Amino acid sequence: AKKTIIIYSAILLPELPSSKRNVINVINMAATPVSWPIPMRAIGAQNLLTMPGGVSTSGYLHKKGGSQFSLMKWPLRFIIIHKGCIYYFKSSTSAAPQGAFSLNGYNRVIRAAEETTSSNVFPFKIVHFSKRHRTWYFSAASEDERRKWMRHLRKEISYYNDKRDLPLPSDDLDSESIYGQLEEPLEISPVEEDPEAGTQ
């Protein structure tokens, strides 16, 4: 019986009209879940930037320190968003990242008003749905830069949570309306894993 099914499908499928074959392909693609990639630990910034498929965005941001002794420090880091992961390098020519983490489980990107200082005027944070996980803080050079990064992060989180058609706010809206939409928490179904999050 199994042999009959295999032969039958092999003969029938090529004879389907092209429109029906396309429908089958679309259904198969839609049914394939997007899995969360794991960060690469030993890749240079330039190598990552030239990976097939490109990166979502890259550039310099100030990043809040993660250890007990560096919480008050906000060193400038070269940040890359690539396939559901955040990488941070000392510079754009670094041979390896100082740290990297998966966006799996992170469902909100919001302004971090509590971190605003004279040297960090445009901070924002990436928040995990579980309070047991670290909140990551970054600071941009301008309001436009902050919005740009928040857009890219929300888009990346949406994509890997299979919400690829989720609309992003239009640039025609006023600033508060844009942030109001960008900061809405996403309903997600995180994949169980034990990520090795960076702490620097």
The rounded distance, in Å, linking the Cα atoms of 53 and 187 is 27
Quick one: what percent of the chain has pLDDT higher than 70? 68
- The confidence band for 199, taking pLDDT boundaries of 50, 70 and 90, is low
Task: Round the average pLDDT of the chain to a whole number and report it.
Answer: 78
Which residues lie across from 138 on neighbouring strands?
63, 124
Would the pLDDT of 174 be above 70?
no
Q: Residue 179: its pLDDT value, please?
A: 79
- The confidence band for 190, taking pLDDT boundaries of 50, 70 and 90, is low
Query: Does residue 62 or residue 33 have the better pLDDT?
Result: 62
Q: Residue 118: its pLDDT value, please?
A: 87
> How confident is the model over 76-127, as pLDDT tens digits?
999 999 999 999 999 999 999 999 999 999 999 999 999 999 889 999 999 9
Q: Residue 161: its pLDDT value, please?
A: 79
Query: Does residue 171 or residue 124 have the better pLDDT?
Result: 124
Quick one: what percent of the chain has pLDDT higher than 90? 50
Would the pLDDT of 186 be above 60?
yes
The rounded distance, in Å, linking the Cα atoms of 76 and 178 is 26
